[in-house]
Structure 1
Amino acid sequence: MFTPSPAEVRRFFCRAWAKRRAGQPMQPIETLAADWIAEHPEYHADFADEASAIARAYPELDGQANPFLHLAMHLSISEQCSIDQPRGIRHAVEQLASRQGDLHRAHHEVMAFLGQMLADAQSSGRPFDGDAYLDAIQRRATRD
């Protein structure tokens, strides 16, 4: 299993953003990452300076979101949808995006569920509950 360090994750995002800005060729995953970064101008400065990005801490208590965690969640959701794992997530996210009129907004809603499910799994010591995660997204996508 691929388990990059926090510094490696930050380097990846910063380098993908630098390539986008320089018009350099990119791998598909870098293109996807840069596309999501482009959707977040409030984070552009965080991705523009690799050394600062690696050194900076984002304590939960200061109220500022960690842009690297945020973008990693966008990539995770994109990957889940691309392989439809958990089975049915692609349709649920597409349905939510249609309802919201915007894939980006739908991702942010899915992130809330993903974050909660990860926190629940971590605090309980139980495995991630993909069925409950998918059920939460489906309920949100279909509620009036």
Structure 2
Amino acid sequence: MFNPTRDQVREFFCSAWKKHVERLPLVGAEVTAADIAARHPEYHALLANPDAALNQEWAPESGQMNPFLHLSLHLAIHEQTSIDHPPGIRAAFDQLRARMDAHDAEHVLLECLGETIWRAQREGQPMDALAYVDTIRRKASLL
């Protein structure tokens, strides 16, 4: 399984963004990464400055969201919905998209995924995929 380092993730997003801006060919996951980055103008300056991206820290205690965590979660959600894994996530996502903008719907999934990861880490257990999809379905039915 691919397990990139923090710096590799940051370099990947910066490189994909640079290629996008320079209209160079994108390959594989770079296409999705550049699309996700394009929908986040608040990160463009950071992505254009790889040195700053590699050296900056974002502490949750200070209320800062790590942009690379945010972009990576978007990438994970894109992959999950494209292959419908965990099973049912695509239908749950479609329910959300029927009620809101696709990017806003992705942010609902991001929140659910973040909660699921946090719970698994706190409990020292694997992620509960069924609970994850169920949480998305519940949120979709409330909106």
Band of TM-score, shorter chain: over 0.9
Aligned to 1:61: 61
DSSP 3-state at the match of 1:2: coil
Deviation of 1:65 after TM superposition, in Å, equals 1.3
Q: Percent identity?
A: 46
Deviation of 1:31 after TM superposition, in Å, equals 1.1
Letter in 1 for 2:61: L
Structure 1 stretches of 4+ with a deviation exceeding 2 A read none
- In the alignment, structure 1 residue 121 sits paired with structure 2 residue 124: no
The two structures have a TM-score, normalised by structure 2, of 0.97
CA distance in 2, matches of 1:64, 1:120: 20
Which residues of structure 2 form unaligned runs of 5+?
none
Letter in 2 for 1:10: R
Q: What value does the CA root-mean-square deviation take over the aligned residues? A: 0.9
Letter in 2 for 1:19: K
DSSP 3-state at the match of 1:99: coil
CA distance in 1, matches of 2:70, 2:121: 18
Which residues of structure 1 form unaligned runs of 5+?
none
Aligned to 1:131: 130
Aligned to 2:90: 90
Number of residue pairs aligned between Structure 1 and Structure 2:
143
Deviation of 1:28 after TM superposition, in Å, equals 3.0
Letter in 2 for 1:26: L
Aligned to 1:12: 12
DSSP 3-state at the match of 2:64: coil
